[in-house]
Amino acid sequence: RIGGDEFVVLIRNKNIDIVPVKSAMNSFNPLLVKKSIEHNLPVEITVSYGICTRQSDEPIEETVERADELMYQHKRVMKGELK
């Protein structure tokens, strides 16, 4: 179910620190604010993400599934903050 407005970024690094990755992802939201030409009103586009590390014996499909679930959790949080 990857496609359309959903995509995956894989980083090959066993010892990656997730904190800077989350910080980088959070920096996208302010960059995606656009103005609506028709109504001259700001339209906010947000990025929801799921970040996880792959367990050594885990099939990649399971890793993607876990990241997908984390993305949906983040999406629910973002919707709560926007209301």
Q: What is the distance between the alpha carbons of residues 54 and 16, in angstroms, rounded to a whole number?
A: 11
Q: Whole-model pTM? A: 0.69
20 or 32: which leads in pLDDT: 20
Per-residue pLDDT reduced to its tens digit, 45-78 = 667 888 888 888 889 899 889 888 988 888 888 7
Half-sphere exposure of 16 (CA within 13 A, CB side): 15
Answer positive or negative: Cα dihedral of 71, 76, 80, 83.
Answer: positive
Beta strands in 1-83 (DSSP E): 34-35, 42-43
